[in-house]
Structure 1
Amino acid sequence: MFLQRRQQLFTAMSDNSVAIFCASEEQVRSRDTEFPFRQDSDFFYFCGFSEPKALLLLIKKAGETRSVLFNRSKDKLAEIWQGRRLGQTQAIDQLALDKALPIEELNEHLHLELEGLSKVYLAQGRYPAYDQHIFAAIERLRNGLRSGWQAPTQLEDWRPLVDEMRLIKSADEVALMRKAGEISAAGHCRAMRSAKVGMFEYQLEAEIHHEFLMAGARAPAYGTIVGAGDNACILHYTENQSVMQDGDLVLIDAGAEYQMYAGDITRTFPVNGKFSPEQAKLYNVVLEAQIAAIDMLKPGASIYDANQRVLNIMVSGMVELGIMQGDVATLIEEEAYKEYYMHGLGHWIGLDVHDVGDYHDVKRTRPLVEGMAITIEPGLYIPADADVPAAYQGVGIRIEDDVVITANGCEVLTADVPKTVADIEALMAS
């Protein structure tokens, strides 16, 4: 898989060039402890290497290609304290590389790997410390004309090339995302079975994370949101510290990361296991919109097209429930709905939960093609002080699934967790 990706990038690169990818840096959590390490997605995409302090060079010269990794040397004492290192010899074998050099000797060897090349592809600014090493190596070559050295003269961002590659998922990637979706769904089902009046939001968060870990997903793909009552109206609420009250709906936005690929699911359900009539009415407006949007997804459609359908359903529903007043078409045209639905319909998903890829414009009119993976997540958020019927005040509802575009339609990767009123109530009752 990684060799195929490298070859695809080589095909897109200019001759006599190098693409340089940097590993993530360890981040200090407090004093001398670090946050759990997570590899840079683009670096991982081309080699599958999960250690920090590394640099990957993909070199295309005179019709030939080669891959060079700078990584940490084997060190018995360091490995006793901090964990095993792959080293150079094993890196060549396990990662199918042509060459591996010690990162500790980067300044001694990097300029020699760049010598004679014309162009450097680099995501400048992402890792400034490595930028300094790279530009120092180029400057060293510029000053080595008497030695016959030739320095690269062009610098180009590789992100447009790589983002387009990552946007289209292979069958192997879809399989990993399907697994991430299954684990994420299991976490949400566990939360529905576990929810009780009087629980803290963080206790429900703990149930979800337990399910993720037991299934082999070592971490959530992003900060888990458990928002009960009007906390659900805070789009990126992560405090998760309130007590869940009788009569509350709780909105959970949580996804597992499985072998670097993200799941991303949102479900909203009653803490006491039973929707009130008003909650069910508003919930079904969002559900109808989400199902209609997913039904539209196929090659040639767009997120924009699906969102227009969602707007019609949700604005019509809010007018019918007395939350909004006026002509539906006019309310949509004037964007009056943004008081209650202020985010987009969905986003790309993959190695990153908000994955890379060009939408073409702010309205996201890019035609979908097979292999694209997106989320569909309409939501309605009614503030506690909104001038609406009291039963809808302080209610937030979002329903989200992960979808991959297929040859003739789409596949929902997160369908294992229920989302109809009847199915949710039945699961909670069990």
Structure 2
Amino acid sequence: MFNIETYKDRRQRLKERMKDGILLFLGNNESPMNYPANVYPFRQDSTFLYFWGLDQPALAAVIDLDQDKEIIFGDDFSVDDIVWMGPQPKLHDLCAQVGVQTVKSSADLANFIFRALQKGRPIHFLPPYRHDNMIKLQEILGIRADYLKNYVSVPFIKAVVELRSVKSEEEIIEIEKALDITYQIHLEAMKLIRPGLKEYEISGVLKGKAMSLGGSLSFPMIFSVHGEILHNPHQLNLMEKGQLVVLDCGGEAPSHYAGDITRTLPVSGKFSEEQKAVYQAVLSAQTAAIEMIQPGIRFRDVHLEAAKVLTLGLKELGLMKGNIDDAVQAGAHALFFPHGLGHMMGLDVHDMEDLGEEYVGYDEHTKRSSQFGLANLRLARELKSGFVVTVEPGIYFIPQLIDLWQQEQKFKDFINYDKLESYRHFGGIRIEDDVLVTENGCRILGKLIPKRIEGIEAIMQK
């Protein structure tokens, strides 16, 4: 929790961007795994955290723009709860710490909204992503859960995105804390990886490492020798000599700010010459992309520059041919690089994705492409000082995609399909860092996790 003035200032700036009506915020509830008393670890809604700072379940809040009132709805824990949980602070005392004096029972929320609706007052709410909150909105607003998306408040979304996109100095400190955890996870992986182990033997230790440092993971860890599967959730493979393993993970600080770093490592501790060549193409693309980042530049242009550098590397390997600019414009490179260069990061690892990528990563000046690969770019709009973005180019050899394109002879003027057979079992390489856009350029956040070939090999062979 930040200091009281931080939350008061955030809510005040939000009020200045909205005209009238009521802003409704729903916090998250606990979610049972298999019966009510056995729950998943609680995670508060990030927008609720941003404006209200209270990290406990079963809360809601409103800002009455017309009467300039702020109210938090919730209940104190009962004696029965305290028997199991121990002493708990009073909700009124917690609310005072974030500058809110009016606290009402959870049961009062429905009546508050009902009276406002009777008077014809607009109720602004954000897109719900949890089904229990969809049901609650259905009950208090009278809108069927499956129609809620048609009634969300676009002005409210845009105002929240505008505020949360630009990170303050105190937020950057929290992201750095998350990256301290991430740093330790990645260094531990470099020390432990070796042939003959199952992936889960490493990933289990890495998850425990995050917890041992007082944090957690900001998203389910990707750890796989099948790096060509972009978000591979399985960690059952045996790691063998000559393979590459992709580790994409991030620590989450106790404040819930996220880190997100990817490294690709040789299982045997040393890259082959073929692996070095592909790896260097990815690293060159990432370096070029980071060097471009500054306020005023569109992230789509950074993505396309990274794609050109990747294409040049693939051409030097004999896997692509022809004019590089033409190949990227046509989308031929997407056979090897089918995802976007990066995304916003903050309280969410894909920051504010619940509010809609069309508002977070795009705007009225930047529309999403329909081209394969480029369509997956989560962030395309102009960068501003204070944005935190990931930069994560990659090269992947996806057998099913290669077979499909080869069968269709797609982009045959740019792709040497006859050279690809020997790469069918190569896997994939991704390199990712988290970057803060500054007033005059950018800087990479967190301690430097080795990403140059010689640095990785030096640690892994100790």
SS of 1:233's equivalent? coil
Once the two structures are superposed, the pairs formed by residues 27-426 of structure 1 within 5 Å of their partners are 27-32=31-36, 33-62=38-67, 65-82=68-85, 85-107=88-110, 111=114, 118-123=121-126, 125-126=128-129, 127-135=133-141, 156-157=153-154, 158-217=156-215, 219-228=216-225, 231-258=226-253, 259-356=255-352, 357-360=360-363, 361-362=367-368, 364-383=379-398, 387=417, 388=420, 390=422, 393-426=425-458
Deviation digits for residues 392-425 of structure 1 (CA, Å, limit 9, x no counterpart): 7432000001111001111111452110000101
- Determine the C-alpha separation between the residues in 1 that align with 2:152 and 2:233: 40
Counterpart pick for 1:8 among 3, 10, 13: 13
- Determine the C-alpha separation between the residues in 1 that align with 2:62 and 2:223: 42
> As a proportion of its length, which structure holds more strand?
1
CA contact (8 A) 2:397 2:423 kept: no
Stretch deviating more after TM superposition (235-244 or 388-397): 388-397
- Determine the C-alpha separation between the residues in 2 that align with 1:136 and 1:278: 61
Q: How many angstroms does 1:117 deviate by? A: 7.8
- Determine the C-alpha separation between the residues in 2 that align with 1:84 and 1:209: 30
- Determine the C-alpha separation between the residues in 2 that align with 1:113 and 1:77: 34
Over the matched positions of the two proteins, sequence identity in percent amounts to 31
Q: How many angstroms does 1:84 deviate by? A: 5.5
- Determine the C-alpha separation between the residues in 1 that align with 2:281 and 2:238: 27
SS of 1:300's equivalent? coil
- Determine the C-alpha separation between the residues in 2 that align with 1:133 and 1:95: 28
- Determine the C-alpha separation between the residues in 1 that align with 2:276 and 2:333: 20
- Determine the C-alpha separation between the residues in 1 that align with 2:380 and 2:94: 42
Q: How many angstroms does 1:27 deviate by? A: 2.1
- Determine the C-alpha separation between the residues in 1 that align with 2:264 and 2:159: 38
Q: How many angstroms does 1:189 deviate by? A: 1.1
In structure 2, the CA distance between the partners of 1:46 and 1:115, relative to structure 1 (3 Å rule), is farther
Q: How many angstroms does 1:260 deviate by? A: 1.1
SS of 1:67's equivalent? strand
Q: How many angstroms does 1:354 deviate by? A: 0.9
- Determine the C-alpha separation between the residues in 2 that align with 1:76 and 1:426: 57
Q: How many angstroms does 1:391 deviate by? A: 5.4
The residue identity in structure 1 corresponding to 2:289 is: A
SS of 1:162's equivalent? helix
Deviation digits for residues 95-149 of structure 1 (CA, Å, limit 9, x no counterpart): 3212111214444555467786833211255522331343269xxxxxxxxxxxx
Q: How many angstroms does 1:50 deviate by? A: 1.3
Q: How many angstroms does 1:88 deviate by? A: 3.4
Deviation digits for residues 298-336 of structure 1 (CA, Å, limit 9, x no counterpart): 111121121222111111111111222333233222211
The residue identity in structure 2 corresponding to 1:293 is: A
Deviation digits for residues 23-81 of structure 1 (CA, Å, limit 9, x no counterpart): 1132222234221110011111111111111111112235xx23111112230112223
- Determine the C-alpha separation between the residues in 2 that align with 1:155 and 1:239: 36
**Hey, what does 1:148 align to over in structure 2?**
none
The residue identity in structure 2 corresponding to 1:25 is: N
The residue identity in structure 1 corresponding to 2:267 is: V
Counterpart pick for 2:29 among 20, 25, 28: 25
Q: 4+ residue runs of structure 1 moved beyond 6 angstroms? A: 113-117
SS of 1:90's equivalent? helix
In structure 2, the CA distance between the partners of 1:159 and 1:389, relative to structure 1 (3 Å rule), is same
Query: Where in structure 1 are there 5+ consecutive unaligned residues?
Result: 138-153
The residue identity in structure 2 corresponding to 1:313 is: V
- Determine the C-alpha separation between the residues in 2 that align with 1:239 and 1:26: 26
The residue identity in structure 2 corresponding to 1:118 is: R
CA contact (8 A) 2:126 2:152 kept: no
- Determine the C-alpha separation between the residues in 2 that align with 1:115 and 1:88: 29
- Determine the C-alpha separation between the residues in 2 that align with 1:123 and 1:384: 40
- Determine the C-alpha separation between the residues in 2 that align with 1:21 and 1:202: 39
- Determine the C-alpha separation between the residues in 1 that align with 2:398 and 2:112: 59
The residue identity in structure 1 corresponding to 2:382 is: P
- Determine the C-alpha separation between the residues in 2 that align with 1:334 and 1:348: 26
- Given the two structures, how large is their TM-score scaled by the length of structure 2? 0.83
In structure 2, the CA distance between the partners of 1:155 and 1:213, relative to structure 1 (3 Å rule), is closer
- Determine the C-alpha separation between the residues in 1 that align with 2:328 and 2:98: 52
- Given the two structures, how large is their TM-score scaled by the length of structure 1? 0.88
SS of 1:351's equivalent? coil
CA contact (8 A) 1:71 1:87 kept: no
CA contact (8 A) 2:114 2:141 kept: no
SS of 1:56's equivalent? strand
SS of 2:56's equivalent? coil
The residue identity in structure 2 corresponding to 1:254 is: C
CA contact (8 A) 1:180 1:262 kept: yes
Aligned length: 408
CA contact (8 A) 1:222 1:353 kept: yes
The residue identity in structure 2 corresponding to 1:247 is: G
CA contact (8 A) 2:113 2:141 kept: no
CA contact (8 A) 1:124 1:131 kept: no
- Determine the C-alpha separation between the residues in 1 that align with 2:275 and 2:248: 19
- Taking only aligned residues, the RMSD between alpha carbons, in angstroms, comes to 2.3
The residue identity in structure 2 corresponding to 1:417 is: I
- Determine the C-alpha separation between the residues in 2 that align with 1:340 and 1:304: 18
